[in-house]
Copies of this chain bind each other. A is one copy, B any other.
Amino acid sequence: MSEKTTLGNFFEDFRVGQSIAHATPRTITEGDVALYTALTASRFPITSADTFAHTLGFLRAPVSDMLAFNMVFGKTVPDISLNAVANLGYAAGRFGQPVYPGDTLTADSTVIGVKENSDRKTGIVYVRSRGINQRGQLALEYCRWVMVRKRDPASAAPEPVVPELPDAVATTDLLLPVGLRAEQYDCALAGSVDLWDDYQVGERIDHVDGMTIEESEHMMATRLYQNTARVHFNQHAEKTGRFGRRIIYGGHVISLARAISFNGLGNAFSIAAINGGRHVSPAFAGDTVYAWSEVLDKLSLPGRNDLGALRLRTIAAKDHRCTDFPYRLADGHYDPSVLLDFDYTVLMPKRLEGTPSP
């Protein structure tokens, strides 16, 4: 093999404290936004119309949070997860500065933990990754941990370091965009009358709609993010791989679940935090994705009477309508239909004093 090509890092290549500047900075454009809409059916009006975004104090329509997340994630793949066996989890994700078309994101990661597995063939790598805009401002950050193959099973195991990660991002750690204000929020244009006040902890919502994924769609999304993980693109290799076919990038499933959640969470206009997340099983072309959500918590935001936050669990399931809220079985395992278990915090306008509920 040429020394000029890369096969990515292996478990031995990671050291706690190591800082990695990822390649391929990315100017995000209106073209990316159009493709995101065409591939996910996203309908949140703040990312759909400049006029609506103005009423919330934004300069113009920012891009979808998950579009920005997937762009940053894509940049990390060549360095972090090209040799990953599994993407194990997310924590401590926060969205900061809004990302507008024309902004350029650059990504970096810091290794915050390593732990070899007992089989000595793989190990777990924990990283904190960030997306920074062209003005040096934090657009988003998140921790994730992945199981990565060792180059050489005989290589010495590093001192295990497992970082302490919070169950959820604390309300005081949320980064609200400067200038955001929800007093002018227009429920009619948003397509939903239900506001923060109307949701209850424990409430479960079947998001009704299902979306079938084609090969070209998940590949286009994943290439748009410049994510280079080979399992998504190469049928010639995957036909003899673990599943016999291409695996859909998990971030595309999150994007679909978020878009589908519009029906029932239409006013959850922004994701403020990713508390946790797990890709429970792989998705493949031909699968139809459904989703349901549970309200895990209602969070008041200090000093804000115009908006609050909801902590949500959104479950994506395949080929299974979510009227029965598929989740964990009696034995603790997930229902076989479950693709994604995603724990995140959204912002939602509050009912202004004196405004009647629907």
- CB-defined contacts of A221 to chain B, threshold 8 Å: 38
- CB-defined contacts of A39 to chain B, threshold 8 Å: 220, 223
Inter-subunit contact A29/B27 (CB<8 Å):
no
User: Given A4-B192, A236-B288, A219 and B220 touching (CB < 8 A)?
Assistant: no
Given contacts A4-B265, A29-B30, A38-B223, 19 further A-B contacts (CB under 8 A): A24-B45, A24-B189, A24-B190, A26-B48, A27-B49, A29-B34, A34-B35, A35-B35, A37-B226, A38-B224, A78-B191, A209-B230, A209-B234, A210-B234, A210-B236, A212-B235, A214-B216, A236-B319, A236-B321
- CB-defined contacts of A49 to chain B, threshold 8 Å: 24-27, 104, 106
- CB-defined contacts of A215 to chain B, threshold 8 Å: 212, 214, 216
Q: Which of A75-125 contact B (CB under 8 A)?
A: 78, 101-102, 104, 106
Distance between A79 CB and nearest chain B CB, rounded to angstroms: 9
We find that the number of chain A residues with CB closer than 8 angstroms to chain B is 85
Inter-subunit contact A224/B188 (CB<8 Å):
no
Inter-subunit contact B212/A246 (CB<8 Å):
yes
Choose one: B24, B30, B78, B264; the contact of A2 (CB below 8 Å): B264
- CB-defined contacts of A106 to chain B, threshold 8 Å: 49, 51, 189
Judged by a CB distance under 8 angstroms, whether A284 is at the interface is no
- CB-defined contacts of A220 to chain B, threshold 8 Å: 38-39, 217
A-B contacts, 10 listed (Cβ < 8 Å) = A6-B208, A27-B48, A27-B49, A29-B33, A34-B34, A38-B224, A50-B104, A211-B234, A235-B288, A237-B321
Inter-subunit contact B41/A25 (CB<8 Å):
no
Judged by a CB distance under 8 angstroms, whether A40 is at the interface is yes
Q: Which of A1-58 contact B (CB under 8 A)?
A: 1-2, 4-7, 21, 23-27, 29-35, 37-41, 43, 45, 48-52
Inter-subunit contact A61/B265 (CB<8 Å):
no
Judged by a CB distance under 8 angstroms, whether A278 is at the interface is no
- CB-defined contacts of A219 to chain B, threshold 8 Å: 212, 214, 217
- CB-defined contacts of A301 to chain B, threshold 8 Å: none
Partner-binding segment picked from A158-166, A175-183, A198-206: A198-206
Inter-subunit contact A41/B214 (CB<8 Å):
no
Q: Which of A's residues lie within 8 Å of B, judged by CB?
A: 1-2, 4-7, 21, 23-27, 29-35, 37-41, 43, 45, 48-52, 60-61, 78, 101-102, 104, 106, 134, 188-192, 194, 198-199, 203-212, 214-217, 219-221, 223-224, 226, 228, 230, 233-237, 246, 263-266, 286, 288, 290, 319, 321, 323
- CB-defined contacts of A319 to chain B, threshold 8 Å: 236
Inter-subunit contact B5/A288 (CB<8 Å):
no
Taking CB as reference atom, which chain B residue is nearest A45?
B24
What 4 A-B pairs have minimum CB-CB distances, sorted nearest first?
A31-B34, A23-B191, A236-B288, A25-B49
Query: Once the chains are docked, how many angstroms separate the CA of A155 from the CA of B41?
Result: 34
Distance between A17 CB and nearest chain B CB, rounded to angstroms: 18
User: Given A25-B48, A237-B210, A34 and B32 touching (CB < 8 A)?
Assistant: yes
